[in-house]
Amino acid sequence: MPIDGGEAGAYPFPMTKLSPYKVHGFVCTNDRNGERRSCADGDAVEVRALLKKKIKEKGLWGDHVRISSSGCLGLCSEGPNVVLYPSGRVFTETTINDVERIVDEIVAIVEKR
Ligand code: FES
């Protein structure tokens, strides 16, 4: 049986599985070096670092939560952007002052799942 619990052969790729994380957050850190707006123009790198630090402090890193850098999420004019999966909620125009709110949302999701 496939690791995702689905029917054998139902999915066309033989090597698939569900994400091991309850929440996987992606922080766009794309940098266009001033050619046009990108998330690295704002606090994106700092937001990612602080988000990881706070999640680790809460003991959620690894088994429950992963925070990754991402390339462009296609919402450049609203960046820096953070998206959480599986909810798909996007936090726009984030600064380091928004990290606590994002952490609170992650904690709420982890507690529900
Ligand atoms: S550069 Fe971040 S969404 Fe495009």
- pLDDT tens digits for the chain (113 residues)? 445 555 555 667 778 888 999 999 999 999 999 999 999 999 999 999 999 999 999 999 988 999 999 999 999 999 999 999 999 999 999 999 999 999 999 999 999 98
- Please state, as a whole number, how many other Cβ atoms lie within 10 Å of the Cβ of residue 91: 19
> Atom 1 in ligand 1: which residue has the minimum CA distance?
38
- Predicted structure pTM score: 0.88
Structural domain harbouring 63: 23-112
Instruction: Tell me if residue 84 falls in helix, strand or coil.
Output: strand
- Whether 70 is in a domain gets the answer yes
Task: Give the Å distance between the CA of 34 and the centre of ligand 1.
Answer: 13
Split into its structural domains, the chain has a count of 1
In a domain, 2, yes or no: no
